Amino acid sequence: MKRFIYSNYTKFAAFILCALSVAVSAYLVTTAFFKEDNAYFFESSYEDSHFAGNELSEQFCKLSDKLENTMDEKGKLHPEQIKAMPSPDEWECYIKTDGGTYTNLKNQNDENYDKFRSSELSIGVRVQEDKNNKGLTRQGFKNGQGYGGYYFISNYDGDDLKYEMCVRMGEKYKEEHRVEWENIKESGDSAAKKVITLLIFSIAVFIYLLCVTGRKYGSDEIQMLLVDKMFVEITAALFLGIFFGLGALTIFGAGYFIIGEGVMIANEITALAVFCVVSLSLLLFLSLVRNLRNGTFLKRSMIVRICKLIWKYFKKICKSLWNILGRIWRGIKNGITNAKHIILSVSAKNFSGRFVGTLLVAFALGVCILTVLTLVSPVCIVFLAVFVIGVIIFVAKRLVGFENLKNGIDKIKNGDLNHKITDCPDGVIGQMADNINTIGEGLQKSLEREVKAERMKSMLITNVSHDLKTPLTSIINYADLLSKEKLSPDEANDYVKIIQQKGERLKQLTSDLFDISKVQSGSEDFDIEDIDICLLVNQALAEINEDIEKSGLDFRVSVCDKEVFVKGDGKKLSRVFENLFINCVKYAMKNTRVYIDIKSDDTGAAVEIKNIAGYEMNFDVSEISERFVRGDESRTSEGSGLGLAIVKSYVEGCGGTLEITTDGDLFKVTVRFIK
């Protein structure tokens, strides 16, 4: 069923049906309601219908025009001159003027006229003199009630233009046209029901399209179309323009031509236009929905992209200004530091201080001697000035060279082995700078060789472990097949079991070696998230519960009262605790207790695991977590020497630390995490 619901063919069929339902509804509306002669607005009776009202108004206008045409030069009406008075079976009329009363009825009196003008399907007008304003007022009425407004005729010149005229539909005409109206009513009601049914169906299909658009059976990925790659602002503008602009033009244009001008345009063209408008609007709207559902709405937003571009250049400008301010600040700071070193350099604590101190003493003696000579001869003033300038230049160069030497040593010490010390004066300081540069080059080459060797070693281990997987799998599979056979002699079955056990152990060793090589080479990915460390420890214990029961050890777990969340990769940390607990099962003294404590504070959490070793621990604690290093130096027990190495690599990859301590036979592992 779901396959059918999410099928592209089903969605396309629903799309066409939705647009087609609206188009057919428009066709039914224009066919049933947009007609010049058959005005139907869901009236309850023929007497109250627009159909009858239009017929009544039309006949009244014809008779009124005929009456107005009888006016003479003095402005007096002569109803008796009306030709072709309508038959009383179809239309009954009553005209009252100053000259008398005229009607096509048999009985003529005021009482009958009052009943006549207040009866159903009657319409008329009263024109009378307004003496106060010296003009005429014209008031229409329908079924005896005010109708058509009340207004003043100011340009009246005559004295006798006063009349009252009323027209009423005859019984014969009424009965004939009642049948026609009932047929129109039945057609309109039927069309309305069909339109409502089609609109409800189209709304249901539209809701279905909203739910399934972009979705595909068996896939959580949203399926996008070519139209979805447009900017969402353009899609929204096109949707609004087509839906409201072309839709309004189609509807009001059709109504204008049909009703206003009386020109019947093809209803099929109107339906086709509505189908195109709905199809395009639905296509664009569903495109916006797919972008929202796929999370690409903001990515395909032109406004968002412009804002990001502005923000990018704004950050660059701010960064440039920050660098300029930083350079100014570093210049000021270096100036202060140089002044400080100049003051400190006069001390006798180092070679440069003694050198500068000796130089200053010589300078003072020289100044004294030249001062005495100056008192004897003014010519010596020139020699004194030259001497002072030379000493200042000499001292300044040495101080600047000493500062460059000190800064260079600090950079090399902090790990920048490619840094070269320059701008040092010739002599002892320059020779020291060259020697330090040579030392830095040697350290850099040594570091590169070490990194290369470590990389090659990791690649070798990875490749070898990968190449061993295929033959190991074959050995294990064939050993399994042999174990199911009855071999002869009986010792052969034991040999097959040994081959199978050693193969499984070698397969586990190869897998561990491959995992740790991936981590240490930097090719392993860590999915860091918030993890409840208490839940993780309990899960790891539950997975090896069978081994714990067989070992005879008593695991004592102490956890916090609440959840403790840390940052880490759930799969990797599960492997960490599984390895640590398996080590306890393998190497702890039988019938002893293993303590597991989980502690938490504001900065992070720590898991402590303590047990009594079942052998003498004479290993180096700092090397026990390295690859292939085992606490059991005789290697008589199971193990590959990779368990703690994997634990350390995974813990450090998750941002934590691993600490191993021993105290006699007590073995303690502490795993720390940050929150």
pLDDT at 672 over 70: yes
Residue 240: band (very low, low, confident or very high) from pLDDT cuts 50, 70, 90: confident
What are the structure tokens assigned to 550, written together? 């067989």
Integer CA distances (angstroms), 201 to 22, 206, 420, 442, in order: 9, 9, 80, 82
pLDDT at 351 over 50: no
- What is the identity of the amino acid at 665? D
Residue 634: band (very low, low, confident or very high) from pLDDT cuts 50, 70, 90: very low
Q: Which of 73, 97, 63 has its CA nearest to residue 169?
A: 63
Position 610 scores a pLDDT of 92
Relative orientation angle of helices 380-413 and 428-483, to the nearest 10 degrees: 10
pTM of the model as a whole: 0.40
Q: Are strands 593-600 and 554-558 parallel, antiparallel or unpaired?
A: parallel
pLDDT at 397 over 50: yes
What is the three-class DSSP state of 75?
A: coil
Q: Which of 500, 460, 495 has its CA nearest to residue 480?
A: 500
pLDDT at 595 over 90: yes
Q: What is the pLDDT of residues 413-451, one digit of tens each?
A: 777 767 777 767 766 677 777 778 777 777 777 777 777
Q: What is the pLDDT of residues 487-501, one digit of tens each?
A: 777 777 777 777 777
Q: What is the pLDDT of residues 510-525, one digit of tens each?
A: 666 666 666 666 666 7
Considering the chain, what percentage of its residues have pLDDT values greater than 90?
3
Instruction: Evaluate whether 293 touches 222 at the Cβ level (below 8 Å).
Output: yes
Position 153 scores a pLDDT of 54
Q: Which residue has the higher pLDDT, 464 or 445?
A: 445
Position 383 scores a pLDDT of 64
Q: Which helix (H) or strand (E) holds 135?
A: strand 135-142
Position 430 scores a pLDDT of 74
Domains and CATH numbers, the chain: 2-32+181-294 (no CATH), 72-169 (no CATH), 525-674 (3.30.565.10)
pLDDT at 475 over 90: no
Local structure of residue 619 (DSSP, 8 states):
S
Q: What is the pLDDT of residues 33-52, one digit of tens each?
A: 666 555 667 777 777 777 78
**Mean pLDDT across 317-332:** 84
Instruction: Evaluate whether 198 touches 120 at the Cβ level (below 8 Å).
Output: no
pLDDT at 629 over 80: no
Q: Which residue has the higher pLDDT, 601 or 373?
A: 601
Position 50 scores a pLDDT of 78
Q: Which residue has the higher pLDDT, 264 or 433?
A: 433
Q: What is the pLDDT of residues 285-309, one digit of tens each?
A: 888 888 888 888 888 888 888 998 9
Instruction: Evaluate whether 112 touches 129 at the Cβ level (below 8 Å).
Output: no
Position 635 scores a pLDDT of 46
Residue 593: band (very low, low, confident or very high) from pLDDT cuts 50, 70, 90: very high
Q: Which residue has the higher pLDDT, 170 or 637?
A: 170
**Mean pLDDT across 69-92:** 78
Instruction: Evaluate whether 351 touches 368 at the Cβ level (below 8 Å).
Output: no
CA distance 135 to 552: 124
CA distance 228 to 285: 10
Preceding amide of 489 cis, omega within 30: yes
Q: Which of 111-120, 180-189, 242-251, 651-660 has the highest mean pLDDT?
A: 651-660
Q: Which residue has the tokens 């009202």?
A: 53
**Mean pLDDT across 590-602:** 88
What mean pLDDT value characterizes the chain? 76
**Mean pLDDT across 568-595:** 88
* CB neighbours of residue 602 within 10 Å: 5
**Mean pLDDT across 590-596:** 91
